[in-house]
Amino acid sequence: MKKKKSNEKYNLTVSENKVVQSEENLFEELSELITSSRERALVYANSEMNLVFWQVGKRINDFILNNKRAEYGKQIVVTLSRQLEQRHGKNYEEKNLRRILQFAEIFGNYEIVVTLSRQLSWSHILALLPIKKKEALMFYAQKAASEVWGVRDLRKNISKKVYERTLIAGVQPVVANLKSVGEFKDPYFFDFLKMKSDFLEKDLESAILSDLETFIMELGKGFAFIERQKRMIIDGDDFYLDLLFYNRNLKRLVAIELKIGKFQAKYKGQMELYLKWLNKYERKEDEASPVGLILCTETSKEQIELLEMHKDGILVAEYWTELPPKKILEEKIKAAVEEAKERIERIKLLNE
């Protein structure tokens, strides 16, 4: 009988433990439910705020336009801001109300606003409004939404001229089997590596690997590191590719060669060999053919055009290890964009 009582006591303890564990699981489940609900509510609140701001801005813009009086428009904004702020809070103070009007004017399509508002907060919108070019603004808005950039990331990418550098890279004829070169830039900014002026290729490669996360951020979202000094045995000889990446958006391997100095025509043959080897031995069945990216401290535009490297799946871009002052940087990027546009026109004429 005593033995039986001991078993009953033991069984009761097990049962109690199960209840405690069940309660703990319930608590965790409820906590997760509340947390996810709060996150959804925050996203929903941000989205609703943007949509309300757009509708308010659109209504005021239409009202001013219908009256066709500029002075009246300035006056009504001041009056409305006071009234709205008094009833609905500081979101409608004059400075922000003018931003709301600008927001509604720039983003004229409500459906686009609905789509972007699912990912972008009002702080994102405020970071976008100072951008003068509509194409650049929409580029950053769509990138921030699709790649889930924080406000800090968005500001950083705007300051580093990601749009302009993507535009310059896009001047190169479309690489074989690639719908666009929008995943690439020209030039790339490697100022974070803090390289000395007399660095070697191996120093550059080592510095990149020691700060791989920042390097991948500069490459762009979708890149995943695979291997350094990828060994290839061809006819009994060893060949080594500097860096091998995979791009999830492109669904293909990306071979990167780092070069010091100006681009040379012989680099094409070297990269062609690497790409053909990768295509034969490393490419998976569900992947597209590999592409190559040759990074040089200076490109040779005419040589690259004449070599028609795009037909072999090869892109060439510059990299800068030091950034000039902001004003000079803007001038250099602007000049590069203009040169890129001229090259586009030349290519069009050649293809006619």
Q: Does any domain span residue 153?
A: no
Beta strands at 188-189 and 314-320: parallel, antiparallel or unpaired: parallel
CA distance to 98, 183, 323, 326, per residue, from 329 (Å): 31, 22, 7, 5
Same domain, 176 and 102: no
pLDDT at 342 over 80: no
Task: Centre a 10 Å sphere on the Cβ of residue 212 and count the other Cβ atoms it contains.
Answer: 12
DSSP string covering 289-328: PPEEEEEESB--HHHHHHHTGGGGTEEEEEEESSPPPHHH
Q: Where a domain ends, among 118, 149, 171? A: 118
pLDDT at 326 over 70: no
Same domain, 221 and 311: yes
Residues forming beta bridges with residue 298, ordered by sequence position: 262
Beta carbons of 260 and 201 less than 8 angstroms apart: yes
Residues forming beta bridges with residue 189, ordered by sequence position: 320
- Write down the residue that tokens 């290729």 correspond to: 201
More confident residue, 208 or 33: 208
Mean pLDDT computed over 192-209: 73
Here the CATH number for the domain that contains residue 199 is: 3.40.1350.10
Same domain, 325 and 203: yes
Mean pLDDT computed over 288-314: 85
Long-range interactions of 224-227: CB distance < 8 A, separation 24+: 224/248, 226/253
Q: Mean of the per-residue pLDDT values for the chain?
A: 78
Tokens encoding 114: 């609905």
Long-range interactions of 240-243: CB distance < 8 A, separation 24+: 241/274, 241/278, 242/201, 242/205, 243/205, 243/208
Q: What is the pLDDT of residues 106-119, one digit of tens each?
A: 998 889 988 888 88
Q: Does any domain span residue 51?
A: yes
Q: Does any domain span residue 333?
A: yes
Same domain, 113 and 171: no
Mean pLDDT computed over 74-96: 84
Which segment, 25-29, 171-175, 177-181, 219-223, is predicted with the most confidence on average?
A: 219-223
- 157 pLDDT tier (thresholds 50, 70, 90): confident
Q: Does any domain span residue 142?
A: no
Mean pLDDT computed over 5-33: 53
What total of structural domains would you count in the chain?
A: 2
Same domain, 102 and 175: no
Range of the domain at 232: 162-351
Same domain, 344 and 239: yes
pLDDT at 127 over 90: yes
- Write down the residue that tokens 């603004």 correspond to: 137
Phi/psi at 139 (nearest 5 deg)?
A: -60, -50
Q: Does any domain span residue 82?
A: yes
> What's at 43, amino acid-wise?
V
pLDDT at 154 over 60: yes
pLDDT at 196: 67
Same domain, 114 and 171: no
Degrees to nearest 5, angle at CA 47 with 45 and 50: 105
Mean pLDDT computed over 262-290: 92
Kindly state the percentage of the chain with pLDDT values over 70. Answer: 73
Rounded Cα–Cα distance for residues 350 and 264 (Å) = 24
Q: Where a domain ends, among 87, 118, 149? A: 118
Same domain, 269 and 217: yes
pLDDT at 173: 54
Same domain, 166 and 231: yes
pLDDT at 61: 84
Same domain, 265 and 206: yes
- Which pTM value belongs to this model? 0.59
Tokens encoding 25: 């699981």
More confident residue, 69 or 147: 147
Q: Does any domain span residue 204?
A: yes
DSSP string covering 120-143: --HHHHHHHTT---HHHHHHHHHH
Same domain, 228 and 342: yes
pLDDT at 125 over 90: yes
pLDDT at 273: 95
Q: What is the pLDDT of residues 211-268, one digit of tens each?
A: 777 887 788 778 889 998 999 999 999 999 999 999 988 899 999 998 888 889 999 9
Same domain, 267 and 344: yes
134-146 helix and 110-117 helix, angle to the nearest 10 degrees? 40
pLDDT at 270 over 90: yes
DSSP string covering 140-162: HHHHHHHTT--HHHHHHHHHTTH
Q: Does any domain span residue 317?
A: yes
Q: Does any domain span residue 146?
A: no
> What's at 155, amino acid-wise?
R
pLDDT at 205 over 60: yes
Beta carbons of 128 and 157 less than 8 angstroms apart: no
- 130 pLDDT tier (thresholds 50, 70, 90): very high
Residue 275's nearest CA partner among 301, 304, 307, 241 is 241
pLDDT at 46: 74
Q: What is the pLDDT of residues 37-65, one digit of tens each?
A: 555 556 667 778 888 888 888 888 887 77
Phi/psi at 156 (nearest 5 deg)?
A: -65, -45
